[in-house]
Every structure is written in C-alpha cells, then in structure tokens.
A and B are shown apart, each in its own frame.
Chain A
Amino acid sequence: MFFVKELERVFYVHASYLGSGLHNELTKRIHTEIEGMIEDNYFIVCILEDDKFSEGRTIPGGGHIEYTAYMKALCWQPYKREVVDGVVLNLVESGFFCEIGALVVFVSQEHMPKDMFFETQGAGPQWTNNKDMTIERSSSVRVRLLGVKATMNRLTGIATINEDYLGVLANS
C-alpha cells in the first residue's frame, strides 16, 4: 500500500558548499540518498517535498554543517494478505520468485493450485497446469502476500497464488 510519509533526515555538508549551491546540494543529497531505500518495512519510492531544511549547525571539530531535512516521501509498504501484481523473475523446482517493485517474493509449490507442476522442457522453465495457467519468466502474476520481511535494504517475502483470481494475469 502506498503512503505519504513525513520523514526527517540529518545531513552533513562540507563547509565548502556553503553558498548559493547549498540548497541544490541538499536537495540532490536527499534524492540520491533516500529514494529507493528501505526503512523499517517500507520502501521509499520518491521524495515529494524536498525543500524544508533546518538551520545549519556547525559540528565542532570538523568542517561539516549539520542540516535536518524535512520531507514528504511516497512510501510503499507491502502488507501481509495484500494482493499485489508482480513479474516473475525466476523459476525453480520448488516454486518461483516474483518481483513486486522492490519486493521479491517466493511462491512455493505449497501455495500454488495442486494441479500445477514444474516443467523444464521446451522454451524455458515454467510452472503450468497445462490448462489456463502457465507461469514462466517475466509473466505477470497476481499474488497474495503471506509474509514480508525487510532486512538489509531488501524486502523479501512469500506469497500464494492458490486462491480465486490469483495467478498469472491474462494479458501477459
């Protein structure tokens, strides 16, 4: 689910930036250092407002100035039981991995319809039931998240397609 979240970050800027380019520098830093990060368990998609800074404060003993930036960020937090669309990255014998933005989830065979099986013959590995559903690399799939874990700037989790309306998307 997407949220707009207010964030606060502290930046240290070298004294040589003090001048007309300071604002640009801070803004640049905000975008490069915060966008795409994973905080607690959400992913920061982009910064919406990036122009509020505290007054600078010199840090004793160093040539740096401390600024606190206040920004609004568009964040995405995947929730357990949330239904999301993703793209299949990789298929293995025990299931497949799919990518939902920054989140990579694993769909185990346990969480697929019982009639699906892993097929390595033909073009590429695929999970199929030889009827209406064939999941191969870069298929679009709709999954329900069963668990999400955010660690070390990675979002991982597991998901299921064993439910009505889940599974490979028709137009993919």
Chain B
Amino acid sequence: MSTFANTNFEDSDSEGEDFNPDAHVSSDEDAKPARDARKPAKSVKSAAIIEDSDDDDDIKAPVSHAVDDANGDDAKDDEEVDEDEGDKELDDEDDEEEDEEDEEDRPRKRRRKPNHMQFIDEEAEVDDEDEDEEAEDDEIDETHPDDIAELPVGGENDDYRHRELDRQRERLQDQDALTYAEQLKEKYGRQKNLSMRETSGIPQQLLQPSAEDPQIWSVKCKIGKEYEVVNSMMKRFAERLDTPQAIDICSVFARPNAMSGYIYIEAKKQEAAKKISEYVTFCYAQNMNLIQKNEMPDLLKVRKQKEIKLGAFVRLKRPAKYAGDLAQVELVEETASEVTLRIVPRVDMSQDDGSAKRKRPGAAVSRPPQKLFNEGEARKLGGRYIQGRGKNQFTFQGEDYIGGYCIKTVKFAAVETDNVNPTLEEASKFAITTEGEDGQQNQEIDLNAIAASLRETGTGGDFLPGDVVEIFSGEQQGVRGTAAAVHGDVVTIQVAAGPLKGQKIKAPSKSIRKKFEIGNSVKVLMNSKYRNEVGTVLKVAEDRVTLLTDNGQQEITVLSRDLRVSLDFSTSQLNSQYQLRDLVNLDASTVGCVVRENPETVDVLDQNGNVKQMLPSSIAGKIELRRPTVAADRVGSEIRTEDLVQESAGNQRKGIVIHIHRNFLFLEDKLQTENNGVFVVKSSSVTVISAKGGRGEGANLTEMNPALAGKQTGSFGTMGPPGKPGAGKLPIRNRIDGAECMIAKGAQKGVKGRIKDSTNTHARIEFMNRPGVHSYPLEMLKYKTRNGEWQRLDGTPTAGRVPGSRVPYGSRVPAGVSGGNRSAWGDHGGSGSSSNGAGAQTPYWKGNADGARTPAYGGRTSGWDGSRTVNPYNDGSRTAYGNWDSGNRTPAPYASAPTPGAYGANAATPAGLDAPTPGPYLGAPTPGPVDAPTPRVYAYPTPGASAPTPGAFADTPGAYAAETPGAFTAETPGAFAAETPAAFGDDDDEPRYA
C-alpha cells in the first residue's frame, strides 16, 4: 500500500476539505484511473469542487501542470493522457519489482512525502495497489529538487506557473467558503433534520383534536371482556374491508385498567361506530357516548405502567385476609393482567374442617397469624382437603402451598406496587431456604429485592444535606459526593472525587444510596427494627451495611438507607422509663436487671438467670436503693456494689457488682456480649477479688481538709481507741455552735440552753429559762450531739451508762474520796456538791491520766484500809451491775476472788472498774492486747465474759498492796476501762472498734 492508502476518505472535515475519489473516478474514463487518483491529490482542494463544479478540467489541468513543472517535467497539458498511459505502462513493468519491496518501501515513502508535497494536501484516496505504485513512480520523478535546480530555461516558466498556482489558490479559496458552507450544511443540516424529526417541535397544544378530527365513542361492555370485544370488532372490520360493507372506523381500543367495562371506537361518523359494535358479544351497544374533545387526550394518555419484576416485593390489597401483607412476585406473564405471588400464608388452623368449605367470602374475615404452611397441622385440621402434589407442594382449601408459602395468582389491581417499604423483618419471612453442604438450612434473604423495592419507593426524604452518597445507577454511576441539597426526589450532589470533582450534579434519589466507610460510626434510623442502635461499620456490601453495635457488641446488618453517620454514643433516649442496668421488680418475688432496651420493650435478666422480654408496663417498678446494700461472699467478706468478684465455681466469671438483691448479685463483665455483659450469681458462690477503694461512709473530710486527717491520726497515738469520725478536738466550735447545751457542773448544773457562739475556751449560752446570753468556760458545758447524747466539750462521751440518776450514789460519795474519782462520776451523777470536781476532771480527761487517775485509786486504796469509803462503792457496784444485767451473778466471782477483805466484803471492785472507765478511752496507753479484743464482750452484756476480767483484776490487789498506789493505779484502770466505754457508751461505734 502506498502512502495514499493512509489517508482518510471519510475524515474530510479534519482538513476542512473534502475529496471523494470514488465519485471522481467513476465519472472519469477508466483509462486514466491513476491520473485521477493523482490529480486530486495534487488538486489540494475538495471533492466538492471536483465533483460539483463544471470547470473540473480547468482545475485539474493547472494543478497537474504545476506539479509537473515542479518536477521539471515538461510535458504539455494536451499530452497528459498519453503521459499517463505511458506511466501506466512503466508501472506495469515495474510492478513485479515493486511489489516485493512494497512493504519495506512504505516508511521511505513517508519520509519522502513532505518533499514533494509541500503544497499539496496529504489527501489521497487510492487503495488500488497499482495506482500506488504508479504514484510512487511519479513521486520519485517529482521529488528531485536537483532537477528543478538544473533547469536553466525554466525560469519564466516557473514564474508563470507559480502565478498560475497562486491564482488557482485564490480561486479555490473563494470557492472554499462556499463549499465549506455547503459541507457544513450537508453535515449538520442532515442532523438538524434528524433532530427535528425526533423532538417534533410542534407544541402539544397544536396536536389537540379539532373539529375535523374523528370522534371517539365509548361503548359499554362486560367488565373483563374489553379485549375480547375489541378483537371481535377488529375481526369484523377486517372481514368487511374491501367490500361494500366496509366500516369506516379509525380505531377501536380499550383501557381495561383505567376504564374497565368500556371500549372506545374512533370513527368519523357514529354510523360506523354503530355498525361495528352491534351484535358483538359482551358489547352493549345501546348506549354510545361521545367523548368530548377535551377529554380525548386524557383518554389516550398512557401512564407508564409499573413494571413488576420477578422477585420484587409488593403488597396485597385483596383478598382481605392478606390485605397489607407483603408478597413476593413469583411469576409475571407479559401480557396477562395477573401476577402470581408468594405469600406467607395465614391458614386458619382453628377452623374445624367442615366450616372452611362453607365459609362465604363475604363474611367477616378473621386474620389468622402469618405462619408458614405446615403439612402436619393441616392434616390434623382436615386431612381430606389436603392434596400432596410433589415434594413440599400441597393444595389445601383451594390454595396452593409450595415450600410452606402460599402461591396465589391475583390481578394486578389487587397488588400495591408503590410504597411497599418492606421492612427487613417482613422480608426475612421470605428468606430462601437452601440446604447447605453440612445439611444445615441456610436462610438467605433476597436483600437485593428488598433494596430494589425500597428504591422504587424511595423518596428524597431519606437523604439529608451532608449525607455522603453514591450514584449507583445511570450514566453517572460510581460518582461519589456529599448531598448538598435535597428537593423532593432530586438530590444535588457535590462531587467529591473523580473528573467531576467540585461540581454539583443532580440525581434522582432512586439512583443514589448512602455511602458508608468501614469504621464509620453510624446510627440506625427509625425504619428498622434496630432503630437507635449506634455502631461501627464493619462491612459494606452495596446496600447492606454490617455494623458492630456499641451496646451489646453484636453484628447486625441493615440497609444503608436506614443509617446515618452519627457522632453520638449510644444514648438511650428510648421511650421506656427503665434504663440499661436498672434493677426492677418483676413481681413480688422476682427482681431483674435491664440488660437491653428495645424500641418497645426491655429485656430483663431476672434473678434466676432468665432473660425475658417485657413491656415496660408489665414491670412492677424500679427498685431504688436508699442505702448501700451489703452482702457476704462465700468466706464472709462483705460485698458491696462496684466490687470486683469472681465466681468460685463454674465458669469462674468475674464481674463488677452492679446490684445486690438479697443473696443475688447482678454482675457485669464488659467483655461478655451476652445480655450486655450482665449476669446473675448467688452471693455465696463468689469471692471478692477487690473492693472498690475505701469503705468510707459519709463525706470524707480528710480529702477536703488535710488538717483533719493529720490531727486525727495523731490523736490515736499508737493504738488509740477510735473516736467518732471528725470528733477530733480542734473544731469544737464548729460543732457546737447552735447546739443544745447544759451546764455540767457548778451551781448552775443541769441548766439547759443553746450555744450562740463560742471561742476556744468559752461559749456564750442563751439559757432556756432566763433571758440573756452568758459566757461560760467550755469545760463547764456539755452539749447534745446529733444523735442525742450529751457530750463533754472536750470530746468525752458521757453517755452510755448515764447513771445520772444515781444521785444517791453521787451524793454518798464522801468528801474524803478524792476528787478524781468523783470527777468521773460527776458527769454521770451530777452531784452538785462536789466543789473541786471541775478542776479534777479537766486534767483527768485531758490526758494527764496519771495525775487524774491516781487520786481515783487513791480513794479506793484508802477503802482497802477498811475505811468506810468502800460503802459507796458497794452501791456503785450494784449500779454498775444493774446496768449490765440485772440478773447477773457476777458479783460472786468478785466475792470469791482472793482479794483483800475490803475488796471482797464490800464488793467494791465493780465500782472500781466503773470509776475509771472513761479514762482509758481518752487514750491512756493501756496495753493493747487487753484493749482490742474485749469490747464486744463488754458491748453485749454477757456476764460470763465479764467475769474473767475481775478475775484478772483479782490478782492485782496483791500487787497493789505491795506497790505504791500510784503504780497500781497507773495500770489497772486502763486495763479495764479501755473496753468499758465502748461497751456502754458508744454502741454505734463498735464495728469500727473491731
């Protein structure tokens, strides 16, 4: 092939010039095809000129001349033909040689081309090989610039030729505009015509029927027989065609869907319409109504019929039993007006077999629940109405059941195809059950079908500006972006990527779906059964999005239309008054813990470990715990909420206690997915692994105020008895201001008042029985604490045994008995007679224990001497015992104790025990061992337990006797008294004491 073969015949517009060699060749003589082929190549200009213009030859001639001249070829115009023939002959000779070289030559020729074709378009339209060869020969001749240079005489010739060429070019250019216009016309004009034809620019208004147009008559016919009637009319029309009875009608048609029971005849005259409709079966031609002109268009307007696709979901309108039920299209026939559906049957299994037959369709329809057809049940019901028709296919009560579904053929009219909106739950009843390899039945839901039917009904309302969306069908398939605006069904998308990036395009909402990325946090919208679930996207497959829910950590699959990107954590703003992990009362004996909130219900894990789904209304109530509950684990350690415990048997599950109810613990293990991690155990089957921090009750002031913490521990010393929390000595003022108080000693003793103000040493008191505010030293006062006991302002509890009534005893105390002793009693007895009481007391309590106590025992010591002082003790002892336990025989051990006579005879010991009691409480460095274990013994007045103490004491007197009273007193009181206050006075503190 020559270079010419490369040129493009059709691509004429690329050069702006056309050439049609075929036309030219055919118009020319056969004898000079090669010339023809060459000439156009040289002619530079388009085929239009060559073909259409009359001066064809004029053009050709100069061109060939020009070229020939350029090649130094002196041949004359007239000889052109001969020359050509000669050329051809030459070519023929050369053919054989050239043929073989042909292929290799091509590149060479191409290179050569520019040289000889400077003025010539590369348009060449020859595909004949011979012509190519010939042309090539010519070229070889022509492409010799040297030859041109060697022409000495060709000077003026050259000039002439050049000018001629210029002229010709001018002419061509002039014509060029015309031809170009023509070309354009030819090219685009044609298209214009085409498009005119397509769009038919005639406005609809002009197409409205006019008075000249045929008229349309409507004729009644039997409902459902419309097409039949039309067909018989057409038959009649065809029969009479070309006969004298020909009926002059234009058309007959029916609209069985829109206008059932009517057919329409289009004719110029009513006569014709009558002719064609009379005596047609099912056609009631008596009444013939003329359709108004303005109604005609409506009659003929074609509403695009909804296409019902196989497998699509529809809703049934009839029969009433299935009204509103979802159905899947099983079979659609192209032409029929019926569709076969797969329905989840509602077989009334409560009917006894006879009544089913008798039932009238008009009767009120009961709506049995949806349930797949079960052969066994049906046989039980009425075995004789069931017919097996192969595997899993039955006919029962006139309905066909295949694979459990009811297969029913209904009219299109009974089917709703708009707004089907199948929910996943409904659709899941249509799951296709397939037998897996392992014999298990796998259920597959045709999510595509759901999605399709959802898409059909999808409205723009599902999209919100800001949603990330993707176009999944149509031309712009795959375009992704953000919804910028939503107007009805049209969503404007700001394209985020791709060549359209940054542009806004509009797309119908049907072709759009929301796009989610793996890892997105999303929330389920209202349509789904999982509404309000929040989760993370795990997987996206077209329309289906699998999420991991935040609550319960389950995987769920929902349609992307039901999702929205969300930043919330799963907030439970559900309707119920019960929230996750609430402890609720199910009935009188059952409690449960809410483990899941559903849109309408809550799941409750009861104390027996069963999960029940309950309506909030069926729950008796929420259990509000007023105070912290405590349970004991299997070894007796206390369990409180928020402790970490572990089962000691079974799965050894660990969990944080969220609720304690009797002996049931509701535990939570966040790692478990079942029941949201909540499970229930018996408290006796777990052990505490770790308690939740300190067990402090009430406000822990130490955190607020460092001073408190420090001082308190300091006051304990090495092994101090516990004070009340916060009962340190410092902030007395804070505690007592406003408190009820009483003067504890002096002439005013017993007078009550209220503390108005206080300093570190004094308090100002407003008395109840007289006006005015008086200042008293603090040590003279007692005040009433919150729990109603009287307390010394130095922190000494005076309560407990409060033998304040023991006035006789107090009064009996001889003046000779040292003040220390009395001072101890002074509190209780309030013996106003004691003049030195206050002085004695203060040092005593303040911790100078020795000084204070010594006299106390000194007093007693004197008693041992046989002085009468013992007598008061005697009384006192009784008091003491009376307080403990009236029926107590405790004195006996005392009596029998090998104590000195004074001791034994007077049974003064108890008194001795009693007297110093408060002392050790104040932190006297009493021996720890005695101190610690005893209090309970004393707290609960067990005589037996108290007995040994005196025994121990019983030994002491000997020692006492031997030693100085001072030494003796220093120890003994401590030993005994340490326990006593706890026992008698501060019952509420006793657990702490342990």
Q: Using CB atoms and an 8 Å cutoff, list the residues of chain A in contact with chain B.
A: 14, 16-17, 21, 25, 80, 89-90, 92, 94-95, 97, 106, 108, 110-111, 145-149, 151-152, 156-158
Which A-chain residue is minimally distant from B538 (CB atoms)? A108
Q: CA–CA, A149 to B523, complex, Å? A: 13
Would you list which residues of chain B between 535 and 557 have a CB under 8 Å from chain A? 536-539, 546, 548, 550, 553-555
Question: Which interface class (under 10, 10 to 19, 20 to 34, 35 or more) fits B?
Answer: 20 to 34
Set of chain B residues within 8 Å of A146, measured between Cβ atoms: 518-519
Most buried by B among A80, A152, A158: A158
Q: Given contacts A108-B555, A110-B538, A156-B550, is CB(A89)–CB(B671) below 8 Å?
A: yes
Nearest CB on A from B542, distance (A): 15
Set of chain B residues within 8 Å of A95, measured between Cβ atoms: 555
Nearest CB on B from A127, distance (A): 15
Given contact pairs A147-B520, A158-B536, a sample of 14 additional A-B residue pairs in the complex whose CB atoms are under 8 Å apart: A16-B707, A25-B706, A80-B519, A90-B671, A94-B555, A97-B671, A108-B548, A110-B546, A145-B519, A147-B519, A148-B519, A149-B521, A149-B536, A151-B550
Set of chain A residues within 8 Å of B704, measured between Cβ atoms: 14, 16
Q: Which of A16, A97, A108, A147 contacts B521 (CB 8 A)?
A: A147
Q: Given contacts A25-B706, A97-B671, A147-B518, is CB(A108)–CB(B569) below 8 Å?
A: no
B637 at the interface (CB under 8 A from A): no
A-B contacts, CB under 8 A, total: 59
Which A-chain residue is minimally distant from B518 (CB atoms)? A146
Most buried by A among B520, B672, B704, B707: B704
Q: CA–CA, A151 to B550, complex, Å? A: 10
Q: Mark B514-534, 1 if CB is under 8 A from A, else 0.
A: 000011110000000000000
B673 at the interface (CB under 8 A from A): yes
B210 at the interface (CB under 8 A from A): no
B705 at the interface (CB under 8 A from A): yes
Which B-chain residue is minimally distant from A151 (CB atoms)? B569
Set of chain A residues within 8 Å of B536, measured between Cβ atoms: 106, 147, 149, 156-158
Contact A14–B705 (Cβ < 8 Å): yes
Set of chain A residues within 8 Å of B553, measured between Cβ atoms: 92, 97, 106
Contact A158–B706 (Cβ < 8 Å): no
Q: Given contacts A158-B538, A158-B548, is CB(A21)–CB(B521) below 8 Å?
A: no
Contact A147–B555 (Cβ < 8 Å): no
Q: CA–CA, A94 to B555, complex, Å? A: 7
Which A-chain residue is minimally distant from B540 (CB atoms)? A110
Q: CA–CA, A111 to B149, complex, Å? A: 81
Nearest CB on B from A46, distance (A): 21
Set of chain B residues within 8 Å of A108, measured between Cβ atoms: 538-539, 546, 548, 555
Set of chain B residues within 8 Å of A145, measured between Cβ atoms: 519
Set of chain B residues within 8 Å of A89, measured between Cβ atoms: 671
Set of chain A residues within 8 Å of B673, measured between Cβ atoms: 92
Contact B569–A21 (Cβ < 8 Å): no
Most buried by A among B554, B569, B706: B706
3 closest A-B pairs by beta carbon, nearest first, are A147-B519, A151-B569, A16-B705
Nearest CB on A from B705, distance (A): 4
Q: CA–CA, A41 to B202, complex, Å? A: 65
Set of chain A residues within 8 Å of B569, measured between Cβ atoms: 149, 151-152
Q: CA–CA, A156 to B416, complex, Å? A: 45
Which B-chain residue is minimally distant from A149 (CB atoms)? B521
Contact B671–A106 (Cβ < 8 Å): no
Set of chain B residues within 8 Å of A16, measured between Cβ atoms: 704-707
Set of chain B residues within 8 Å of A97, measured between Cβ atoms: 553, 671
Q: CA–CA, A14 to B538, complex, Å? A: 49
Set of chain B residues within 8 Å of A147, measured between Cβ atoms: 518-521, 536-537
Set of chain B residues within 8 Å of A14, measured between Cβ atoms: 704-705
Contact A111–B538 (Cβ < 8 Å): yes
Q: CA–CA, A17 to B708, complex, Å? A: 11
Q: Which of A21, A110, A111 contacts B706 (CB 8 A)?
A: A21
User: Can you report 30 residue pairs joining A to B where beta carbons are below 8 Å apart?
Assistant: A14-B704, A16-B707, A17-B705, A17-B706, A25-B706, A80-B519, A90-B671, A90-B672, A92-B553, A92-B673, A95-B555, A97-B553, A106-B536, A106-B538, A106-B553, A108-B538, A108-B548, A108-B555, A110-B538, A111-B538, A147-B518, A147-B519, A147-B520, A147-B521, A149-B521, A149-B569, A156-B536, A157-B536, A158-B519, A158-B548
Q: CA–CA, A80 to B553, complex, Å? A: 20
Q: CA–CA, A14 to B553, complex, Å? A: 43
Q: Which of A25, A80, A90, A106 contacts B548 (CB 8 A)?
A: A106
Nearest CB on A from B78, distance (A): 84
Set of chain A residues within 8 Å of B546, measured between Cβ atoms: 108, 110
Q: Given contacts A16-B707, A110-B538, A151-B569, is CB(A158)–CB(B518) below 8 Å?
A: yes
Set of chain B residues within 8 Å of A17, measured between Cβ atoms: 705-706
Contact A94–B554 (Cβ < 8 Å): yes
Set of chain B residues within 8 Å of A157, measured between Cβ atoms: 519, 536
Which A-chain residue is minimally distant from B710 (CB atoms)? A21
Set of chain B residues within 8 Å of A158, measured between Cβ atoms: 518-519, 536, 538, 548
Q: Mark B667-683, 1 if CB is under 8 A from A, else 0.
A: 00001110000000000
Which B-chain residue is minimally distant from A108 (CB atoms)? B538
Q: CA–CA, A24 to B706, complex, Å? A: 11
Set of chain A residues within 8 Å of B672, measured between Cβ atoms: 90
Set of chain A residues within 8 Å of B548, measured between Cβ atoms: 106, 108, 158
